[in-house]
Amino acid sequence: MRVRGIALLMGLVLLAAISLLALMTANGMLLQHRMSANFGASNRALGNAMRAATAARAWLNSRPDIERENGCLSDCLLPTAIRSPDELPQHPEFESAAWWRLNAVAAGSHPETGEPLDPEATEIHVPRWVIEELHYETLPAAASGSSVAGVGYYRILARSSGEGPGSLAVTESIVARPWNGDYEPLPYPPNAPPASFCKQFDLAVPCGMQAWRQRR
């Protein structure tokens, strides 16, 4: 009887150990699954924010010279959806979703008319962008190698939220855009990548992406 009791006790201990190991394995797999899902949602949010930034660049490159006050260095008349220097808060990545809905442009709509460009986009998670002019520099004709009068430097902020509470991304791009010269603005909605706009200028003219970072 003692042998059977010891054997039964050992069996129960072994069964408990196996059950505990199985539970720990299941918890580990569940944690990995959640981490993988969160990582995927964060990547999708970042990708959507980058697509919104691309839409903003396309809008900036589509504006004709007449929409920006020629040679103006401060308090300028700027194209629609482009903010004046220091108009945005210092840390827009921490502003609420309501602030972004009020102040930014939905990537799936036209900045002037609000007409939806992507009928499949949902209002809840639609990426948004905002452009701020940082400063404008005049260019001597001899230095630019063309008739470009100056270059504006812009900050593009783009935000996208995903399905989960942690899947939020805010990116910041610094781009250069020549003004008042012999070139053709790109159409909007775009039919070519934003970088194709810069192919019209001499290499000495600053144009296109200058810096990028993820702010949140």
* pLDDT tens track for 119-144: 555 555 789 999 999 999 998 765 54
Sign of CA dihedral 207, 51, 102, 64: positive
Per-residue pLDDT tens over the stretch 21-64: 766 666 656 656 555 555 677 888 899 999 999 999 999 999 99
**DSSP character at residue 150:** E
Q: How far apart are CA 199 and CA 62, in angstroms?
A: 14
Query: 9-18, 87-96, 174-183, 202-211: lowest mean pLDDT where?
Result: 9-18
Query: How many residues does the structure list for the chain?
Result: 216
Q: How far apart are CA 200 and CA 139, in angstroms?
A: 16
Sign of CA dihedral 139, 144, 145, 147: negative
pLDDT-derived band at 166, boundaries 50, 70, 90: low
Please list, in sequence order, all residues whose beta carbon lies within 8 angstroms of the beta carbon of residue 3, skipping any fewer than 6 positions away. Answer: none
Tokens of 161: 């939220």
How much of the chain exceeds pLDDT 90, in percent? 50
Look up the pTM and report it: 0.81
Please list, in sequence order, all residues whose beta carbon lies within 8 angstroms of the beta carbon of residue 117, skipping any fewer than 6 positions away. Answer: 108, 109, 110, 189
Q: CA 93 → CA 2, 100, 192, distances in Å?
A: 70, 9, 29
Tokens of 15: 């069964």
The predicted structure's pLDDT at residue 31: 57
Average pLDDT over the chain, rounded to an integer: 84
